[in-house]
A = this chain, B = another copy of it.
Amino acid sequence: MNNTQTFNAINPATNQSLDKAYPVATEEQIDEAVQNASDAFDVYRKKDKDSIADFLDCSAEEILKLGDALLERCHLETALPLARLEGERGRTVGQLRLFASVVREGSWVDARIDTADPERSPLPKPDVRHMLIPLGPVAIFGASNFPLAFSVGGGDTASALAAGCPVVVKGHPAHPGTSEIVAQAFLKAIKECGMPNGTFSLVQGNTNAVGEALVKHPGIKAVGFTGSFAGGKALFDLANSRPGPIPVFAEMGSTNPVFILPGILREKAEAIATGMAGSITLGVGQFCTNPGLTIFQQSEVSEEFQNLLSNKIGEAPSGTMLTPGIKAAYDKGVVITKSIDDVEVIAKGKQEDTPNSAQARIFKTSIENLGKNAALAEENFGPSNILVEAQSKEQIFNVARGLKGHLTATVHGTDSDLAEYVELLNILEKKVGRVLINGYPTGVEVCHAMVHGGPYPATTAPQTTSVGTNAIKRFVRPVCYQNYPDLLLPSALKGVNSLNIWRLVNGEFTKS
> Which A residues are closer than 8 A to B by beta carbons?
42, 46, 87, 101, 105, 107, 112-114, 122-123, 125-126, 128-130, 133, 135-136, 236-237, 240, 244-245, 247, 404-405, 415, 418, 422, 425-426, 429-430, 432-439, 443, 445, 447-451, 453, 455-457, 460, 462-465, 468, 470, 476-485, 487-488, 502, 504, 506-507, 509
Whether the Cβ atoms of B481 and A435 lie closer than 8 Å is yes
Write out the residue numbers on chain B whose beta carbons fall within 8 Å of the beta carbon of A122: 87
Known pairs A126-B439, A470-B478, A483-B436; A245 contacts B507 (CB<8 A): no
Interchain residue pairs with CB less than 8 A apart (11): A126-B445, A130-B451, A130-B468, A422-B488, A435-B482, A436-B483, A437-B481, A437-B488, A439-B483, A450-B480, A464-B478
Known pairs A129-B449, A477-B463; A439 contacts B470 (CB<8 A): no
Whether the Cβ atoms of A107 and B509 lie closer than 8 Å is yes
Write out the residue numbers on chain B whose beta carbons fall within 8 Å of the beta carbon of A46: 426
Among residues of B, the one whose C-beta sits closest to the C-beta of A426 is B42
**Quick one: which of B128, B477, B485 contacts A447, CB cutoff 8 A?**
B128
Write out the residue numbers on chain B whose beta carbons fall within 8 Å of the beta carbon of A478: 433, 451, 453, 463-465, 470
Write out the residue numbers on chain B whose beta carbons fall within 8 Å of the beta carbon of A436: 126, 482-483
Whether the Cβ atoms of B502 and A509 lie closer than 8 Å is yes
Q: How many Å lie between the Cα of A448 and that of B478 in the bound state? A: 12
Write out the residue numbers on chain B whose beta carbons fall within 8 Å of the beta carbon of A482: 434-437, 439
Shortest 5 CB-CB contacts between residues of A and residues of B? A130-B449, A112-B449, A451-B480, A436-B482, A114-B447
**Quick one: which of B105, B128, B457, B487 contacts A244, CB cutoff 8 A?**
B457
Among residues of B, the one whose C-beta sits closest to the C-beta of A221 is B455
Write out the residue numbers on chain B whose beta carbons fall within 8 Å of the beta carbon of A136: 430
Whether the Cβ atoms of B470 and A130 lie closer than 8 Å is yes
A480 to chain B, nearest CB (A): 4
Known pairs A479-B451, A488-B422; A445 contacts B107 (CB<8 A): no
A377 to chain B, nearest CB (A): 14
Whether the Cβ atoms of A244 and B456 lie closer than 8 Å is yes
Please name 10 further chain A to chain B contacts, defined as beta carbons within 8 Å, in addition to the given A123-B443, A433-B478, sorted by A numbering. Answer: A114-B450, A128-B450, A130-B449, A244-B456, A418-B488, A434-B482, A436-B482, A437-B484, A453-B477, A463-B476
Which of A101, A122, A453, A477 neighbours the largest number of chain B CB atoms within 10 Å of its CB?
A477
Among residues of B, the one whose C-beta sits closest to the C-beta of A441 is B482
A383 to chain B, nearest CB (A): 20
Whether the Cβ atoms of A483 and B244 lie closer than 8 Å is no
Q: How many Å lie between the Cα of A128 and that of B114 in the bound state? A: 33
Write out the residue numbers on chain B whose beta carbons fall within 8 Å of the beta carbon of A443: 123, 126
A351 to chain B, nearest CB (A): 29
Whether the Cβ atoms of A437 and B485 lie closer than 8 Å is yes
A283 to chain B, nearest CB (A): 14
Q: How many Å lie between the Cα of A422 and that of B485 in the bound state? A: 12
Q: How many Å lie between the Cα of A435 and that of B481 in the bound state? A: 5
**Quick one: which of B448, B463, B485, B509 contacts A112, CB cutoff 8 A?**
B448
Q: How many Å lie between the Cα of A450 and that of B118 in the bound state? A: 17
Write out the residue numbers on chain B whose beta carbons fall within 8 Å of the beta carbon of A105: 507
Whether the Cβ atoms of A114 and B449 lie closer than 8 Å is yes
Q: How many Å lie between the Cα of A497 and that of B260 in the bound state? A: 31
Write out the residue numbers on chain B whose beta carbons fall within 8 Å of the beta carbon of A437: 481-485, 488
Q: How many Å lie between the Cα of A125 and that of B439 in the bound state? A: 12
A302 to chain B, nearest CB (A): 24
Among residues of B, the one whose C-beta sits closest to the C-beta of A459 is B477
Among residues of B, the one whose C-beta sits closest to the C-beta of A425 is B488
Among residues of B, the one whose C-beta sits closest to the C-beta of A436 is B482
Whether the Cβ atoms of B128 and A449 lie closer than 8 Å is yes
Which of A129, A405, A426, A504 neighbours the largest number of chain B CB atoms within 10 Å of its CB?
A504
Which of A245, A480, A484, A485 neighbours the largest number of chain B CB atoms within 10 Å of its CB?
A480
Q: How many Å lie between the Cα of A487 and that of B453 in the bound state? A: 25
Q: How many Å lie between the Cα of A447 and that of B450 in the bound state? A: 30
Whether the Cβ atoms of A509 and B507 lie closer than 8 Å is no
A244 to chain B, nearest CB (A): 5
Q: How many Å lie between the Cα of A484 and that of B443 in the bound state? A: 16
